[in-house]
Chain A
Amino acid sequence: MSLRRKSPDLFPVHEARLPSGLRVRMVPDHDAPVVSLYTFFQVGSRNERPGITGISHLFEHMMFNGAEKYGPKEFDEVLESNGGRSNAYTTHDTTVYYEDFAADALDTVLDLESDRMRALTIDDRSLRSEREVVKEERRLRVDNEPAGLMDEALQALVYQAHAYRWPVIGWMGDIEAIRREDCEAYFRTFYAPNNAVLWVAGDFEPDSLLRRIRKAYGDIPRGPAVPEVVNAEPPQRGERRAQLRHPSRAPSVLVAYRGPAVADPDTLTLDVLQFILGVGEGSRLQRSLVYERRLAVNVGVDWSWRRDPGIFAFHLELQPDADVPAAEEALYAVIHRVAEQGVEPREVEKARNNLRAHLLREFTSNSGRAHALGTYELFLGSWKHGFGLPEAYGRIDAKAIQAAARRWLDPTQRSVVTLIPEDGKR
């Protein structure tokens, strides 16, 4: 049973484009009186420069601090008073805003969202306060969290020239230095309708909704073309290593290989490889490092799509007394075996089954449908490619996976960060 054949029955997608360039996608579903609305902006830390790193994320916070019609903090006040909730997130490549709400609040939400796209106001007082909030967020996620520290060290090791080098949340000094004028320029450049996609899923009639969207967003003018991001990353000429000393109880290892950009056909092959290596209790790394060798407490594999070449990463949370070099070698042995001997057809089939189930799981809620299809549209060029993924994975065979492992999981293209416990009471 392929998803593609079933998809027209699962949910139809209606699409339109406003003269301003705003793309609108609608997924009606009348099971429950709720709606989810996503606004995707094609901007993230990738579009930043040194000195203002973290502005994409700080700006995401500023989007809740008032516009023309609704003043500071009124966005959530009005939304929550009408039976809704909001949140947002920023990545290297995207900034995403979303609301879940009672269906009868739809017009209010369109009013709120279009108001801030039309005329966000940025005042110094809000910026000052929000800057402190973001610094606390950084202390929470990075400075007091070893996994955050390691990830930050890893990105700076893998990338020498590309903007993926700095953390999405930004360096502490840069968060401190971002000015109101920087935010205003950022808004004008990146928050225009032609750089956004609107996804709405839930209890509404698409024709009526499109009319209401035209009314709410129709007068927002198109913005300038978004500046291209230069990828000046030089080739890597051998393994790179960094070590962090931290008062942890247990050591930990983060290993990354330079991978392709999302547009590369190998991206989907690496999706399959990710499942074979590290997703599930029966995956190769889980079996070897956790259950057979008992070196690791947990093993994670992260292959996240990115617009420019990304990284294929492994995170080993080790036993307190584990020998770190031995754990690294055990990981490399598993990778080497795939590159040299390939994978079993049954493993490929299992990975495909899981990727299909994963896709179906994303489609089980309004929010999930809007988020998944919106993400596919941004990264794959069309949401339709999302529906086609199970077929695309079906075309990837064991031979292709071995070739991709050989090509991308090359020891000379590796960057390694180790976390070494040290006594906290210096």
Chain B
Amino acid sequence: MSAAKQRHLRAVDAGRGLQLHRFETPGGLPVTVAQRGRIPLVAVRLVLSSGAAADPGGKEGLADFTMRLLRRGTTHRDAHALDEAIEFVGASLGLFAGEDQVALALTTPAESLASMLGVMAELVRAPSFPEDEVRTERERSLGQFANDVDDPSLLADRALLRTAWAGHPYGHDVTGTRASVGGFGRGDAAGFHAAHFGPRPARLFVVGAVDPAGVAAQVEEAFGAWAGGPERGFEVLPPVGIGRAGRVVVVDRPEQTQSQVRIAGPAYRRGAPVQFAAQVVNVTLGAGFTSRLVREVRVKRGLSYGVGSAFDTLRAGGLFSVSSFTKVETTGKLLSVMRQEVDRMRKGGPTRSELEKAQRYLAGLFPLRTETNESLAAVLADMALYGLGDDWLDRYRDRVRAVTRAEAAEAAARYCFPDPPLTVVVGPAERLRSQLEKFGPVDVLSADDVL
């Protein structure tokens, strides 16, 4: 029995009392176990270097579709039996596709860890993609698109992504489009699984009040025989600039009384050294309740309930975006204030006191990012997938505190739209046009164009 074999558990000190125990299964699956806490709930995360960016042309949404089908049947059990196995013990399992990773995220009562590891291994090793489940999932996905039309915020995010990264593998929503999903069959999902799933591009993380050696034996029992599959994860080339820069894309929703607004420009890839200075800029401009944007948009003018900025960074590139919403009549005014604040940040960066405040904010709240077992497992997975380094958790706060004003100003100059940004607005095009023309040539799309 494989569990009886000698395992080489290697301990890595991740700082602040966190020990990571590592080993590799005979098939080549790298495993990390972190022992902590007292609550008898264990988080398990299996990530694969794959994702929506690996969707074949014309098959947008396939990674996500494949992930959702994993628990709809294996060569051993049907969907109902799998649901029962997972849900009876009080475990929960999420299956996700991102642009450049797919993940199975499980939380289970500690006493059921061994059996749940077995279920997880079964899902990734032996999904059967039954025809009728493929059909149900396809219809459900198409039905979901129809329901998504009613969410203006979601439409804005979808329009932003596909416009900004048009022509690049990141340039479609992970759920795909109605046209692509409508054509999915069993062979597509099975083919994606065969091409992307295997122990070598995967990593497994177990976090909780567990004994690392015991967990190692359970992992080996479940995953020890998993072998084959691709040698490594897929690669994606960096995007070049963004689409429709300097233009305004309006997704027409004639009945809306409120517009959703996004402005975006290119940013850096995940893990780039500039990230700490960039985060300081982001906090000052548009995070929390006291950012420049909140003060100007919400507090001083009552224009919106929410406004914020964010760096969304992936393996090959990133976007910097500013988001908000306001009643239709004040859309132009809101955009002017947003643009004005981003311009002001680009020209001067944060002041000394803003820099110090942002550093205290980021450093003070950092421990919350890994407070639960699930969140620590997710951060450990990101550290591995994006090459952030084992000292990431330990050094994050010092790195944030070390950012200088000059570095922050440089990051602001680079990312706060030095070139004309892309603007996306979801709302009634007819009533919006005159307010938007001063921000660039206006292109009007229908909701169907972004679904």
Given contacts A320-B146, A356-B109, A364-B39, 17 further A-B contacts (CB under 8 A): A9-B38, A32-B367, A34-B367, A34-B371, A80-B289, A84-B364, A101-B365, A140-B306, A140-B325, A145-B150, A250-B146, A252-B147, A280-B87, A282-B87, A358-B90, A360-B39, A364-B372
Query: A145 near B151 (CB under 8 angstroms)?
Result: yes
Residues of B within 8 A of A145 (CB): 150-151
Chain A residues within CB distance 8 Å of chain B: 1, 6, 9-10, 31-34, 64, 73, 76-77, 80-86, 100-102, 105, 128-137, 139-140, 143-146, 246-250, 252, 280-282, 287, 290-291, 294, 297-298, 317-320, 346, 349-350, 353-358, 360-361, 363-368, 424-425
Query: A137 near B305 (CB under 8 angstroms)?
Result: yes
Residues of B within 8 A of A83 (CB): 360-361, 363-365
Query: A34 near B368 (CB under 8 angstroms)?
Result: yes
Residues of A within 8 A of B351 (CB): none
Query: B39 near A10 (CB under 8 angstroms)?
Result: yes
Q: How far is the CB of A424 from chain B (nearest CB, A)?
A: 5
Asked if B180 is an interface residue, CB under 8 A from chain A, the answer is no
A424 to B41, CA, bound (A): 48
B83, B140, B150, B257: the one contacting A282 at CB < 8 Å is B83
Digit string of B287-317 for contact with A (CB within 8 Å is 1, else 0)? 0111000010011111111100000000000
Query: B290 near A10 (CB under 8 angstroms)?
Result: no
Q: How far is the CB of B135 from chain A (nearest CB, A)?
A: 9
Query: A101 near B364 (CB under 8 angstroms)?
Result: yes
Residues of A within 8 A of B418 (CB): none
Residues of B within 8 A of A9 (CB): 38
Query: B88 near A346 (CB under 8 angstroms)?
Result: yes
Query: B357 near A80 (CB under 8 angstroms)?
Result: yes
Asked if B258 is an interface residue, CB under 8 A from chain A, the answer is yes
Asked if B8 is an interface residue, CB under 8 A from chain A, the answer is no
Residues of A within 8 A of B10 (CB): none
Residues of A within 8 A of B253 (CB): 424
Q: How far is the CB of B372 from chain A (nearest CB, A)?
A: 5
User: B17 — nearest CB in chain A belongs to which residue?
Assistant: A31
Query: B300 near A81 (CB under 8 angstroms)?
Result: no
Q: A290-B140, A297-B144 are in contact. Are A282 and B80 (CB under 8 A)?
A: yes
Q: How far is the CB of B15 from chain A (nearest CB, A)?
A: 13
A320 to B151, CA, bound (A): 15
Residues of A within 8 A of B325 (CB): 136, 139-140
Interface size class of B (residues with CB under 8 A): 35 or more
Query: B41 near A360 (CB under 8 angstroms)?
Result: yes
Most chain A beta-carbon contacts within 10 A, residue among B89, B143, B325, B363: B143
Query: A361 near B289 (CB under 8 angstroms)?
Result: no
Query: A1 near B40 (CB under 8 angstroms)?
Result: yes
A139 to B109, CA, bound (A): 41
Q: A83-B365, A134-B305, A364-B39 are in contact. Are A76 and B288 (CB under 8 A)?
A: yes
Query: B364 near A357 (CB under 8 angstroms)?
Result: no
A32, A140, A318, A354: the one contacting B371 at CB < 8 Å is A32
Q: A80-B289, A85-B365, A128-B302 are in contact. Are A297 and B87 (CB under 8 A)?
A: no
A354 to B90, CA, bound (A): 4
Query: B38 near A73 (CB under 8 angstroms)?
Result: no
Query: B41 near A320 (CB under 8 angstroms)?
Result: no
Q: How far is the CB of B253 from chain A (nearest CB, A)?
A: 8
Query: A297 near B150 (CB under 8 angstroms)?
Result: no
The 10 closest A-B pairs by CB, nearest first: A83-B364, A132-B302, A102-B364, A282-B83, A357-B90, A353-B90, A249-B146, A297-B143, A137-B305, A32-B367
Query: B363 near A80 (CB under 8 angstroms)?
Result: no
Chain B residues within CB distance 8 Å of chain A: 36-41, 71, 79-80, 83-84, 87-92, 107, 109, 111, 136, 139-140, 143-144, 146-147, 149-152, 253-258, 288-290, 295, 298-306, 325-327, 356-357, 360-361, 363-365, 367-368, 371-374
User: B85 — nearest CB in chain A belongs to which residue?
Assistant: A282
Query: B305 near A140 (CB under 8 angstroms)?
Result: yes
User: A248 — nearest CB in chain B belongs to which residue?
Assistant: B150
User: B108 — nearest CB in chain A belongs to which residue?
Assistant: A357
Query: A294 near B136 (CB under 8 angstroms)?
Result: yes
A101, A136, A355: the one contacting B327 at CB < 8 Å is A136
A366 to B363, CA, bound (A): 18
Residues of A within 8 A of B365 (CB): 34, 83-85, 100-102
Query: A364 near B88 (CB under 8 angstroms)?
Result: no
Residues of B within 8 A of A81 (CB): 356-357, 360-361
Q: How far is the CB of B352 from chain A (nearest CB, A)?
A: 13
Query: B87 near A144 (CB under 8 angstroms)?
Result: no
Q: How far is the CB of A41 from chain B (nearest CB, A)?
A: 20
A64, A146, A249: the one contacting B289 at CB < 8 Å is A64
Query: B303 near A136 (CB under 8 angstroms)?
Result: yes
B92, B258, B371: the one contacting A357 at CB < 8 Å is B92
User: B89 — nearest CB in chain A belongs to which residue?
Assistant: A353
Q: A83-B364, A100-B365, A294-B139 are in contact. Are A130 and B302 (CB under 8 A)?
A: yes
A246 to B372, CA, bound (A): 41
Q: A80-B361, A83-B365, A360-B41 are in contact. Are A353 and B109 (CB under 8 A)?
A: yes
Residues of A within 8 A of B87 (CB): 280-282, 350, 354
Query: A6 near B360 (CB under 8 angstroms)?
Result: no
A294 to B107, CA, bound (A): 28
Residues of B within 8 A of A31 (CB): 36-37
Residues of B within 8 A of A101 (CB): 364-365
User: B295 — nearest CB in chain A belongs to which residue?
Assistant: A73
User: B110 — nearest CB in chain A belongs to which residue?
Assistant: A1
A282 to B361, CA, bound (A): 42
A9 to B40, CA, bound (A): 11
Query: B373 near A364 (CB under 8 angstroms)?
Result: yes
User: B362 — nearest CB in chain A belongs to which residue?
Assistant: A83
Query: A139 near B257 (CB under 8 angstroms)?
Result: yes
